[in-house]
Structure 1
Amino acid sequence: MKRLLVVLCFISAFNSSAQSTDDTDKKEIQALLKAQRIAWSDNNIEEFMAGYWKSDSLKFYGSNGVTHGWENTLERYKKAYPTEDHTGKLNFKINAISKISDGAYYVMGEYHLKREVGNADGIFMIILKKIDDEWKIIADTSS
């Protein structure tokens, strides 16, 4: 009976720890998305891009196909959103933050841009990985 209690306590502690880690991960991911939203709304695309993995392996899937690499993704954003009238004010509606494995999540949601050149709305799914103790977007698909 004592062994059973010890095992149950251990399992309970492990589950609580895992849940706590998942909650922390999700809060950190939400903080990253908030920082991106603020940077975008301040027309600071470079700061917005700080949330992305600075690697040639980054992938962005958009309406014009796949963009490979951080630098190419930055240039894509700068070309598509050349002025503050184009970036506007960004809001997200997060529909799901789901764990893929330890150190990896996907986020599904909606974006809403309120801007002078016409509002824009769409959906996205991003994959994040913890790299050097920071959450980074390693793949993004938006439409």
Structure 2
Amino acid sequence: MANLNITLHLLVCLAGAHGAAAQATPKAKPEADRRAIVQVLTTQTAAWNRGDIPGFMQGYWQSDSLVFIGRKGPTYGWQPTLANYQKNYPDAATMGQLDFGGLRVSLLAPGAAQVVGRWHLARPAALGDLQGYFLLVMRQINGKWVVVADHTNSSQ
């Protein structure tokens, strides 16, 4: 657990170093921040479920410093992450219907949070459902909460 906390701290510091110039220090407002973070995920789910991967990606930091860690290892940058999603989910059937559950939002510092949760894709029987867990590091950049680091795994 100590290693996870150190890793998250380093990710938050790295993300802050890249985004600090464009970001004013937000004032602490825990409940409003939690609601805003959950709203980002709700908006992403709606975009995914209508087959809109670019819309889904609006919840991510549009930066070369974004990191997505999946089963094939890390991907750096917003554009390569978008390309991976488009390659792996080329049509609505493959995308399925997404839902998130078991969300646990923890505010780490003003303008920084982590979210742990479960994801599930309901897909046609021929493709089979997918599911797993994720850990997101989110930052408030230019007044908007965005995912700056995403570690997602699949239990398949």
Fold similarity call, TM over 0.5: yes
Could you list the per-position Cα deviations for residues 16-54 of structure 1 after superposition, in whole angstroms to 9, with x for gaps in the alignment? x95xx1000000011110000000011100000000000
Per the alignment, residue 59 of structure 1 pairs with 67
Per the alignment, residue 106 of structure 1 pairs with 114
Unaligned runs of 5+ in 2: 1-26
SS at match of 1:39: helix
Is residue 75 of structure 1 aligned with residue 91 of structure 2? no
- Contact 1:86–1:115 (8 Å) recurs in 2: yes
Return the alpha-carbon distance in structure 2 between the equivalents of residues 103 and 64 of structure 1: 29
Is residue 86 of structure 1 aligned with residue 94 of structure 2? yes
- Contact 1:87–1:115 (8 Å) recurs in 2: yes
SS at match of 1:50: helix
Where in structure 2 are the equivalents of 1:1-143 lying within 5 Å?
Answer: 21-116=29-124, 117-143=127-153
Task: State the number of aligned residues.
Answer: 125
Query: What TM-score, normalized by structure 1, do the two folds share?
Result: 0.85
Return the alpha-carbon distance in structure 1 between the equivalents of residues 102 and 96 of structure 2: 19
Could you list the per-position Cα deviations for residues 45-103 of structure 1 after superposition, in whole angstroms to 9, with x for gaps in the alignment? 00000000000000000000000000000001001111101111000013310011100
Which amino acid in structure 1 is aligned with residue 150 of structure 2? D
Return the alpha-carbon distance in structure 2 between the equivalents of residues 77 and 27 of structure 1: 26
- Contact 1:60–1:66 (8 Å) recurs in 2: yes
Which amino acid in structure 2 is aligned with residue 134 of structure 1? K
| Structure 1 segments (4+ residues) deviating >4 Å | none
Unaligned runs of 5+ in 1: 1-16
- Contact 1:94–1:107 (8 Å) recurs in 2: no
